[in-house]
Amino acid sequence: MSNENKLPDPSAIKEEILAKYPPKIARKRAKSMVINDPELDQQIQSNVRTIPGIITQRGCTYAGCKGVVLGPTRDIVNLVHGPIGCSFYAWLTRRNQTDPDEQVEGGDNYMNYAFSTDMQDDNIVFGGEKKLAQAIQEAYDIFKPKAIGVFSTCPVGLIGDDVHAVSREMKEKLGDCNVFGFSCEGYKGVSQSAGHHIANNQLFRHVIGLDDTEPKHKYNVNLLGEYNIGGDGFEIDRIFKKCGINIICTFSGNSTMDKFANSHMADLNLVMCHRSINYMAEMQETKFGIPWFKVNFIGAESTAKAMRKIGEYFEDDELKARIEEVIAEEMPSVKEAVAKAKLKSDGKVAMLFVGGSRAHHYQELFGELGMQTVSAGYEFGHRDDYEGRKVLPTIKVDADSRNIEEIKVEKDETRYSPRASEEKLEALKEKGLEISDYRGMAPDMADQSLIVDDITHWETEKLIDFYKPDIFCAGIKEKYVVQKSGIPLKQLHSYDYGGPYAGFEGAKNFYADIEKILSTSIWKKIKAPWLNKETDPCICAEYVA
């Protein structure tokens, strides 16, 4: 990515934004709004509580656990212990896809169901454990699934139902069904990030390592942090297959219980979304000796780079040659597509405010289109996602992060086997392959670009006025407000109705969709209703201390 163009200095707009907040809040928000200098180590406050009353983009811990990490797994019954709303609003809205026909056996697919204990007032008053046991039994009787995951919603934690005890009892009673619970109450952490961690822990405890079958392929990897939104995972699978590399398990797009159970037999872990799944990479490394490195399949160039890194790791000339062949086959149509889209996109400006990884990953795709990301941020990333893993030892553990269990993992006495020697890993590092590392988003962003963590609604409005971006990328909650301001919004969570955007084919889809968005003049013709003062008096509010 080019850091050559110096961007307009945003310090005045930053001051203007902060001036509207009460002093204490202004001081706090100032630490989460950083004018980037890629040469400096700047601290970006993140993973802290959202200020009450501020409109945030964030979701809850339950969403991160049930929706994000376990949601895309097709043959685990995901049973939500809670009121029905928590299930209804999490029912297939993330567009994670799965392919239940890919195996002759084990083609079960429960993703289109919404399983809930449907807690009522009397369960809140008298406890919901009996109802939970009944629901597990009922799901088992109807579907005979291999596994049932039980997800706690806020009231479960408040009334003290023990989902783990009920899960243990039911696992014993049923005999051939792995039942495990998650203490992922919505309020448990400051965002969905806590839910990712909880999900990683329980998957590691209850599922990983259950099946020691040796893989039959020569090169075996897991892809961590790829959730198959809009079919991204399918496109990555296609590329790996073409290169002759076997993905044992994708965590967790298009995944199954059996793939998780066998994933510890891989030679290498590839981390796509660092935020949601770095825990799994670390735990598998410690227990089984599987090294990991960061990859990005968003962007055709990044995809080629990731595949080459894998070739380097396996140190096999035949594999490296095959990877080069595949890249050479895929690239011509990519180049053609980007040249066409660039006629519209070159020199345009984007702002990206997405969860914990995509605000970084998608800067690559915009870069390929000749577009610059002037401002970006995560909803719930941690400092390491901005500043790189080098800051991990200096991150302060506060009361909120202490609340999330850190499981103690040790070498597996019989199954630990280092897949690569220390010397080999060192040699790869010398070659520039960042083993067990992630540099974060800030070093890749332009000088004077504005990084904002957990951006607020007020900040969004002011920054749109300041930057007048050609496109704003965020989610459904932001979409219509931004569009009413005359700026097109592309959803980077669900991809609206589009995708895949990963890999080579995905990049072409993205170029075409962005070209379409930039080619329409409709947004400039829109006048926000709140600007029409005669018919719609402006709604304003003042902070009262």
Give Cα 110 distance to the centre of its chain: 22
- Note whether 273 binds ligand CFM by CB under 6 A: yes
Strands 147-152 and 178-182: parallel
Q: Binding string to ligand CFM for residues 86 to 105, with x set by CB under 6 A, is what?
A: --------x-----------
Q: Which residue of 29, 66, 259, 493 would you call a contact of ligand CFM, by CB under 6 A?
A: 493
| Residue 340 C-beta-side C-alpha neighbours within 13 Å | 16
- Note whether 275 binds ligand CFM by CB under 6 A: yes
Q: Which residue of 152, 167, 276, 345 would you call a contact of ligand CFM, by CB under 6 A?
A: 276
- Note whether 358 binds ligand CFM by CB under 6 A: yes
Of 199-207, 221-229, 290-298, 531-539, which part binds ligand CFM (CB under 6 A)?
221-229
Bridge partners (DSSP) of residue 247 are 221
Between CA 201 and CA 279 the distance in angstroms is 8
Residue whose pair of structure tokens reads 């070498």 in the numeric block: 411
Is 402 an active-site residue? Answer: no
* C-beta nearest to ligand CFM: residue: 355
- Note whether 311 binds ligand CFM by CB under 6 A: no
Residue 494 CB, nearest distance to ligand CFM (Å)?
A: 8
| Residue 115 C-beta-side C-alpha neighbours within 13 Å | 30
Residue 71 CB, nearest distance to ligand CFM (Å)?
A: 9
Task: Reduce the DSSP state of residue 213 to 3 states and report it.
Answer: coil
Q: Kindly list the distances between the CA atom of residue 478 and the CA atoms of 86, 191, 353, 355, 472, in Å, as whole numbers in the listed order.
A: 21, 17, 10, 13, 9
- Note whether 68 binds ligand CFM by CB under 6 A: yes
Of 101-109, 268-276, 278-286, 481-489, which part binds ligand CFM (CB under 6 A)?
268-276
Between CA 71 and CA 74 the distance in angstroms is 8
- Of these residues, 95, 196, 206, 360, which one is catalytic? 196
Which residue's CB is nearer to ligand CFM, number 265 or number 514?
Answer: 514
Q: Which residue of 70, 229, 271, 283 would you call a contact of ligand CFM, by CB under 6 A?
A: 229
Question: 341 and 513 in contact (C-beta within 8 Å)?
Answer: no
Site for ligand CFM in 401-420 (CB under 6 A): none
Which residue's CB is nearer to ligand CFM, number 356 or number 499?
Answer: 356
Task: Reduce the DSSP state of residue 353 to 3 states and report it.
Answer: strand
Residue 64 CB, nearest distance to ligand CFM (Å)?
A: 6
Q: How many residues does the chain have?
A: 545
Nearest to 189 by CA among 36, 8, 356: 356
- Note whether 296 binds ligand CFM by CB under 6 A: no
- Note whether 219 binds ligand CFM by CB under 6 A: no
Q: Kindly list the distances between the CA atom of residue 189 and the CA atoms of 50, 66, 381, 405, in Å, as whole numbers in the listed order.
A: 11, 14, 13, 11
Of 237-245, 271-279, 308-316, 401-409, which part binds ligand CFM (CB under 6 A)?
271-279
Integer-rounded Cα radius of gyration of the chain: 24
Is 94 an active-site residue? Answer: yes
- Of these residues, 29, 74, 81, 94, which one is catalytic? 94
Is 60 an active-site residue? Answer: yes
Which residue's CB is nearer to ligand CFM, number 265 or number 365?
Answer: 365
Residue 424 CB, nearest distance to ligand CFM (Å)?
A: 29
Judged by CB under 6 A, how many residues of this single chain contact ligand CFM?
16
Q: Binding string to ligand CFM for residues 174 to 193, with x set by CB under 6 A, is what?
A: ------------------x-
Residue 276 CB, nearest distance to ligand CFM (Å)?
A: 4
Residues 6+ apart with CB under 8 A from 532: none
Nearest to 275 by CA among 430, 386, 131, 409: 386
Q: Binding string to ligand CFM for residues 327 to 356, with x set by CB under 6 A, is what?
A: ---------------------------xxx
Asked if omega into 252 is within 30° of 0 (cis), the reply is: yes
Q: Which residue of 110, 115, 204, 227 would you call a contact of ligand CFM, by CB under 6 A?
A: 227
Task: Reduce the DSSP state of residue 352 to 3 states and report it.
Answer: strand
Residue 229 CB, nearest distance to ligand CFM (Å)?
A: 5
Q: Which residue of 178, 262, 302, 357 would you call a contact of ligand CFM, by CB under 6 A?
A: 357
Element (H, E) at 115: strand 115-116
Enter the tokens of residue 361. 């990953």
- Note whether 152 binds ligand CFM by CB under 6 A: no
Which residue's CB is nearer to ligand CFM, number 355 or number 498?
Answer: 355
Is 164 an active-site residue? Answer: no
Which residue's CB is nearer to ligand CFM, number 59 or number 145?
Answer: 59
Residue 353 CB, nearest distance to ligand CFM (Å)?
A: 10
Between CA 227 and CA 276 the distance in angstroms is 10
Residues 6+ apart with CB under 8 A from 152: 62, 81, 82, 161, 163, 181, 182, 183, 184, 185
Which residues of 184-319 form beta strands (DSSP E)?
220-226, 246-252, 268-271, 292-294
Which residue's CB is nearer to ligand CFM, number 14 or number 360?
Answer: 360
Residue 500 CB, nearest distance to ligand CFM (Å)?
A: 12
Between CA 71 and CA 227 the distance in angstroms is 9
Nearest to 257 by CA among 505, 444, 76: 76
> What does DSSP assign to residue 73?
B
Question: Which string of DSSP letters, residue by residue, matches 364-422?
Answer: HHHHHTT-EEEEEEESS--HHHHH-GGGGGGPPP-HHHHTS--------TTT---SS-H
- Note whether 47 binds ligand CFM by CB under 6 A: no
Residue 237 CB, nearest distance to ligand CFM (Å)?
A: 16
Q: Which residue of 10, 17, 64, 128 would you call a contact of ligand CFM, by CB under 6 A?
A: 64
Strands 76-81 and 147-152: parallel
Residues binding ligand CFM (CB under 6 A)? 64, 68, 94, 192, 225, 227, 229, 273, 275-276, 354-358, 493
Question: Which residues are part of the catalytic machinery?
Answer: 60, 63, 94, 196
